[in-house]
Chains A and B, each alone.
Chain A
Amino acid sequence: MANTLFDKIWDAHVVQQVEEGPTQLYIDRLYCHEVTSPQAFADMRARGLKCFRPERIYCMPDHNTPTHDQDKPIADPISKAQVDALAQNAKDFGLTYFGMMDKKNGIIHVVGPERGLTLPGMTIVCGDSHTSTHGAMGAVAFGIGTSEVEMVMASQCILQTRPKTMRITIDGKLGKGVTAKDVALYMMAKMTTSGATGYFVEYAGEAIRSLTMEGRLTLCNLSIEMGARGGMIAPDEVTFEYVKGREYAPKGEKWEKALAYWKTLRSDDDAVFDKEVRFKAEDIQPMITYGTNPGMGMAINEAIPVTEGMSDVEKTSFEKSLNYMGFEAGQKLLGKKIDYVFLGACTNGRIEDFRAFASIVKGKKKAAHVTAWLVPGSWMVKEQIQSEGLDKILEDAGFEIRQPGCSACLAMNDDKIPSGKYAVSTSNRNFEGRQGPGSRTLLASPLTAAAAAVTGVITDPRELM
């Protein structure tokens, strides 16, 4: 029988099918950060349980970590307590822990792939919706709640209803200045933030195949913003080349054996998906969002839509959103003055994103009124920035590179966008208050963020390329 990539991995992990209920699925990797795990550990203690397979669980703080002075204790006592709790829990339950200042620390969705912890064919979960990122390596990876984190701690299994499958094919070649981030924002604008709810998405087609590993991670990261349970890309030479030699990746004979298996991980030619969607790469422009969900995006040179034809509830939600952003229907955003730029997050905190940003700002200067936060996704990314000399280019242009963490993506540390200020952000969500109470977020690619950082206004990055 013909199977999809998703079917192959899912089926290989089914422990049992609960009668008239969910599937009991075996999990190869559980990643834990400090925000969504403490209550799971507390409940494990209350029930007198131990972690069933501690060697499959990796912990690291990322949400609360400051992006400067990480060698000193965290100033915010509540953040500190949460980070300390993860360290203690990891110790008590015998789990691997990459603490602050450990060179293996960083945003969990950046560290997993770059250390070779995330591998093709795996099932991976984390109490974090952007766990979908890891699907880029050809894994079934999805975000879960804290009760589910506890399920995996207790049994290395999770109970899940099997999602439906969707294939999104993007034909053709991406144009100048169009990145994986733009592809994702384009798909969300077309499909809405609930367009893929209930589905596990496989991305396919020439435009996807030609993405680098970093680009694929960005794309799969944003699957959840269309509501998808997860997103994935069949592993190929790009994937194998990326994985080979990484710290936790298999070596020698084990590598050869793994590679042979990974090469079978593709949807069969006659596999049937529950839904098929196709887009043309040539239709995709550099994108920017104007509203308060990631589906409210448009090509950077377009105007905000008007409310004609919307239902009452749709109109109420749309107007509430524009009111929050201080925009009007029909308005164009090019030339609009902005206050902050944020480069980073599990979406765009990888080396390729810093290369892209640097390519635009090279030889230019940061606009005087713009505050820019450049936050690498991990220490490994930060070291790579230095070894490639990107730090020099960025510093010459007036930018400072901070220490790794989730930072202003959700503002659980000190990196908060002030109320009413506009931020062009490479993160994943423009929800009300996401980057700090009252903050106004415009999601875009690293190229578009860089163009805004040097001009001080929303600018089509192609003009600076």
Chain B
Amino acid sequence: MKQKFDILTSTCVPLPLENIDTDQIIPARFLKATTREEKFFGDNLFRDWRYNPDGSLNKDFVLNNPLYSGQILVAGKNFGSGSSREHAAWAIAGYGFRVVVSSFFADIHKNNELNNFVLPVVVSESFLKELFDSIYANPKTEVVVDLPRQTILNKATNRSESFEINAYKKHCLMNGLDDIDFLVENKDKIERFEQTHK
């Protein structure tokens, strides 16, 4: 879970669709679990795209295509829209992705990824398009995500972009800390606030 993030070099899995919603990432019927077993959620990542209704593998779906693998998921804009289910982030992490690259993320899902030590990297539309082209031209294309420097590099074209992340969250990711540790430690501030808050 709290896997520290530093620099990751990996091949990518391309999913060039827009508005991929969290119902597709993990359908509602898998939300009945009361535990956070990453394997269970990872096994059901993109369940209804990954499997046919009869339970057989959908060979046309990218996760079932042996050409593509890696710890970086590359997706079209507005990734993670819809439901706030953190199970979507658990599924992505459980499958083994550590980075999701897109030109745009939905707010709640982006927070959920960060809270699960999956790094959402926002790139420009042109960087994204070029990256899809690179991956399709050569599925072995590697990408370097450097959190300390806040850069992403497409090794096929040598194009690099910087990405944004606030300093607090970057510190958390690099050191394996989470927000609950932070909040529990400043209870005195909260109690002081409450004295003047109705």
List chain A positions with a Cβ less than 8 A from chain B.
12-13, 15-16, 18-22, 24, 26, 35-36, 38-39, 42-43, 47, 49, 52, 63-64, 78-79, 81-82, 85, 127-129, 131, 143-148, 150-151, 154-157, 159, 161, 163, 192-194, 197-198, 224-225, 227, 229, 293, 295, 313-314, 316-317, 320, 410-412, 419, 429, 431-434, 437-438
Contact = CB atoms under 8 A, between A and B. Distances in A.
A36 B83 CA distance: 11
10 contacts: A36-B86, A52-B187, A52-B190, A145-B89, A194-B19, A293-B81, A313-B17, A419-B53, A431-B21, A432-B23
B18 interface: yes
Contact of A151 (B18, B48, B85, B183): B183
B151 interface: no
B155 interface: no
Q: Which of B29, B87, B197 has the most CB of A within 10 A?
A: B29
A194 B32 contact: no
A307 B73 CA distance: 27
B167 A20 contact: yes
Contacts of B81: 193-194, 227, 293
Contacts, number: 192
B184 A155 contact: yes
Closest 8 CB pairs of A and B: A21-B168, A20-B167, A145-B86, A38-B34, A155-B183, A147-B115, A145-B112, A143-B84
Contacts of A145: 84-86, 89, 108, 111-112, 115
A437 B48 contact: yes
Contacts of A429: 21, 23, 82-83
Given A26-B194, A317-B19, A429-B23, 10 more contacts: A15-B189, A16-B186, A19-B167, A20-B166, A129-B83, A146-B87, A147-B115, A155-B180, A227-B78, A313-B17
Nearest to A15: B193
B160 interface: no
B24 A431 contact: yes
B127 to A, nearest CB: 14
Contacts of B140: none
Contacts of B183: 24, 151, 154-155, 157, 159
Contacts of A155: 180, 183-184, 187, 190
Contacts of B48: 432-433, 437
A22 B112 contact: no
Interface size class of B (residues with CB under 8 A): 35 or more
A313 B132 CA distance: 11
B116 to A, nearest CB: 7
A410 B28 contact: yes
A150 B181 CA distance: 11
Contacts of A146: 86-87, 112
Interface in B76-119: 76-78, 81-87, 89, 104-108, 111-112, 115-116
B16 interface: yes
A393 B78 CA distance: 43
B17 A437 contact: no
Contacts of B104: 194, 197
Contact of A314 (B18, B87, B167): B18
B77 A194 contact: yes
B192 to A, nearest CB: 8
A100 to B, nearest CB: 16
Given A15-B190, A52-B190, A197-B106, A38 B85 contact: no
A26 B19 contact: no
A40 to B, nearest CB: 9
B158 interface: no
A82 B34 contact: yes
A437 B77 CA distance: 24
B41 to A, nearest CB: 11
Contacts of A159: 168, 179, 182-183
A315 to B, nearest CB: 10
A12 B115 CA distance: 26
Contacts of A150: 180
Given A20-B168, A147-B116, A194-B106, A412 B78 contact: no
B29 A85 contact: no
Interface in B150-198: 166-169, 178-180, 182-184, 186-187, 189-190, 193-194, 197
A39 B18 contact: no
B31 interface: yes
